[in-house]
């Protein structure tokens, strides 16, 4: 039954850095591309992958070509995607050398019985399916490990953001995804919330879809995406559910995050407890809305 009005939301990260004009334009273009898939009857899953893929390709965000480097100089990326009809999910963590970790995550969902692949074998998996490769040109750093530990900081600022999207398609199915290069001053091998289902992303047609951004350690500790969806399932609006959980993140562990929240009936909210959050949405009317802050 095709009864739902398509809708898509996307973010380019939440933190202390204002969105640039180039990032705003890129977000609007990615949202429009994702919505065009929905308008033609495509799935929420395909729209989320396409939207995130364009943000990864741009190099303007902390994902794909623009991913942060860990303290040894390597770009190790994480991504996840989930659809709400059958609760199918796929994710990759600490993957190197590809432009589109989100596509690797979708291949895990569709081509395996697993949810999460990590490290070099996630890279081999992506190469098997001939995903676009990316040769990192940054410097490698051969620091002794004790020096890396000393350089590692406990900063709670996220200045260059993770990307993500949530969507609702004509069939009423929701989907969520996210892709990231992590945070600044990461120890080699650090994995954040993005590839952990229920933490960085969650999607369920009986509750809604959530894509997170921010400091992953706090998001993991409170299982934020699933916590928000649980409140949606109890009848809370997207705005109330997001506000309640983000307030708990701040009050309990002084966390830092932003969220895209979408319910299956098309209500949505973009919330953050950081100074800025680059995000936007579109339902096909007028032009995509993109802002750097949301009330």
Q: Which of 208, 200, 158, 155 is nearest to 179 (CA)?
A: 200
Beta bridge partners of 143: none
162 is catalytic: yes
Of 112, 137, 162, 289, the active-site residue reads 162
Question: How far does Cα 231 stand from its chain's mean position?
Answer: 20
Residue bearing tokens 């939207």: 51
Scanning the chain, the segments in alpha helix (DSSP H) are 21-39, 44-58, 101-111, 119-128, 145-151, 216-221, 224-233, 238-253
96 close to 136: Cβ distance less than 8 angstroms: yes
Contact (CB, 8 A) for 157 and 122: no
Are residues 15 and 276 in contact, defined by beta-carbon separation less than 8 angstroms?
yes
Token pair, residue 236, equals: 């809370």
Give the strand order in the sheet containing 201-204. Answer: 201-204, 208-214, 257-262, 268-272
3-state secondary structure of 181: coil
The whole-angstrom separation of Cα 208 and Cα 229 is 6
Catalytic residue annotation? 162
């Amino acid at each position: 039954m095709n009864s739902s009005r398509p809708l898509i939301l996307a973010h380019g990260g939440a933190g202390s850095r204002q969105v640039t004009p180039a990032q705003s334009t890129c977000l609007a273009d990615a949202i429009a591309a994702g919505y065009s898939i929905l308008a033609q009857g495509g799935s929420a899953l395909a729209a989320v992958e396409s939207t995130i893929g364009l943000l990864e390709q741009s190099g303007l965000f902390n994902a794909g070509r623009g991913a942060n480097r860990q303290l040894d100089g390597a770009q190790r990326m994480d991504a996840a995607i989930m659809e709400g009809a059958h609760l199918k999910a796929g994710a990759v963590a600490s993957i190197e050398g590809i432009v589109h970790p989100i596509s690797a995550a979708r291949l895990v969902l569709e081509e395996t019985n697993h949810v999460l692949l990590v490290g070099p074998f996630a890279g081999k998996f992506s190469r098997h399916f001939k995903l676009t490769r990316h040769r990192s040109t940054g410097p490698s750093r051969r620091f002794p490990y004790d020096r890396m530990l000393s350089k590692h900081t406990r900063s709670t600022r996220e200045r260059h953001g993770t990307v993500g999207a949530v969507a609702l398609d004509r069939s009423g199915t929701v989907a969520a995804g996210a892709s990231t290069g992590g945070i600044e001053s990461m120890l080699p091998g650090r994995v954040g919330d993005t590839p952990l289902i229920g933490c960085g992303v969650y999607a369920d047609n009986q509750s809604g879809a959530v894509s997170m951004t921010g400091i992953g350690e706090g998001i993991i500790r409170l299982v934020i995406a699933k916590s928000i969806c649980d409140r949606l399932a109890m009848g809370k609006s997207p705005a109330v559910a997001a506000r309640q959980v983000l307030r708990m993140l701040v009050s309990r562990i002084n966390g830092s995050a932003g969220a895209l929240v979408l319910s299956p009936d098309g209500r949505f909210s973009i919330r953050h407890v950081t100074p800025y959050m680059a995000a936007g949405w579109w339902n096909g009317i007028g032009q995509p809305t993109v802002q750097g802050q949301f009330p």
